[in-house]
Structure 1
Amino acid sequence: MSILIAFLSLAVERTLGYPDWLFNAIGHPVTWIGRLISFLDRRLNRATDSDELRRRRGVQALLVILLVPGLIGLALHVLLWMMFPTGLVIAAILGSSLLSQKSLAEHVEEVADALETGGLTLGRIAVSRIVGRDPEKLDKAGVARAAIESLAENFSDGIVAPAFWTGIGGLGGGAAYKAANTADSMIGHRTPKYEAFGRAAARFDDLVNLPASRLTGLLIVLAAFLVPGAHPRKAWLVMRRDAKKHRSPNAGWPEAAMAGALGLSLAGPRSYGGEVVDDAFMGEGGRREAESTDIRQALKLYRMADWLLLGLFAVVSAIMIFLTLLISGQGASAL
């Protein structure tokens, strides 16, 4: 049932997204998890405590952050399994809230639209909604690169990873992953406040994203074979060569694959909160500057890769259903 829930959740979210009226009415699972993380941060992360104590409390906080949504998701999964087949539909709708296929494409496309209709000023405003770097330091090429990098990275941790862990552990696995990823984004920073307290959250997020990041890179490479103008061979070679250059053990895989497929150089030095992060470049773009047309090409690659992801889960779901029916039939024959 877990694989089938993951597949149906992908199909539901790609079609419907998460409606604004629903968000305005009840919020979103990420906002609920965020409130829990903020509560634990206020209660356990004290500046007067030693780093050792803050690291231990960070581990304790992470366990709570994982267990609360994970156990709620597991309970719902078991309950809905007992209501099969109606419960499967409900589970797919709930699982779709853990994904962001539709909204990711919309937000990135807004950056391309802004650059083309309003120039750099509107482009900076649009990209500031999806990246954490300082928008006022970005030129047009920097805005375009930021949008493409965000698209590649969020395809991994906002779509492939939650689908992967939902397929492994059902609603409980998907919810626990989403909690881990949200914790990393909120407290997994290398700042004086979170260096110790958020260490466990950052390390755990790196661990659970390992399989999805590699799968995402491979999906982008395969998509490049199917999107006119993309470079599948370069996507593969650049991913293998440059992924390890990224400061994240995971983000480099989809970003490097995207850089190779587009024939661009991505990453490089960036400014966050006034501080420059001197990252290496990935890709072989040379002096060619990224443009809004590159954002649109990246979106074509993303959408094709997302179709491949849906197809992968559809095939695995069909195999699992066939094996289940085969085993059930053999059991019935034995009786």
Structure 2
Amino acid sequence: MYRPFSFATAAVALLVAATPAAAAYPERPITLVVPFGAGGITDLVARATGKALSEQLKQSVVIDNRPGAGGNIAAEVVKRAKPDGYTLLFATVGVLAVNPHTNSQVRFDSAKDFSYISSVASTPHVIAVGANVQAKTLGELVKLAQQKPESVSFSTAGVGSSPYQGMRILQDTANVKFLHVPFKSGAESVSNVVSGQVDMTFEGSPQVMPFATSGKLRALAVANPKRLPTAPDLPSTAELGYPNLISGSVSGVVGPAGMDESIIKQLNAAINKAVSDPEFKSTLAAQGTEVAASTPDGFRKLIESEDKRWSALLKGAK
């Protein structure tokens, strides 16, 4: 039987054909861009998150380390990516909320250029010195640095890294000046203290504690309100008289601005389900890291709040 062609019928057919494809996300591997080198705390948590997401979404998640410029390179890569949910950034507060106030070459706007998906984890920082440094307590380290400004060097994964933020707080709180030596990752930062090239580090507990346990580093304090369950003998900065010296690496996932809300919701649900899994929690806990999932708006508001805080703290630091 002859049936006349109808544009309306064709449009409906196209819509129906397109719907399964849209609903099939993700139908190919997802790239999770990491702003620092392999081996650092951001990389470790990103890889654990990528593995959990892969299991939740039934699709491969490829880790793409793009270190450099304190995380700006990775952020710009994701900013320019197609907002289809296949290129995501494992971001830190340092990259999104600190870099804009320390680097005049930042080419992204944290408020406008990204789709916020969820926070993931929080890792407290540990202050540690090389075995040959003549300081056995945090107080002794501060006195050592006060004797001669910039005589004590410290390493981080760059100005945009959260350990750098912690050192800024320490310097402002103790009215002392250390010498900053940046590297591409937290792992490099710590290894150069172990080798004696740098005096101290202010890094995530997963990188620091194994070396402290073996005696290659001397851990002085954890920048936390309380001691770590995994290191009960290590005093907290709060109990040592530095209640404002609280520092850690808060990380999460964002994508390019303009992502479809349904994809954002799907990714957020997958992350929240992943972090509630006992195995995922155990994996992060073994690294001294706590899970910290959120809503997309919750992560956005966290970055907005930190942006204001670091704007005041780092005023004039660019």
- TM-score, normalization by structure 1: 0.22
- TM-score, normalization by structure 2: 0.23
Q: Compare CA radii of gyration and give the structure with the larger one.
A: 2
Higher relative contact order (CA 8 A, sep 6+): 2
Higher helix share: 1
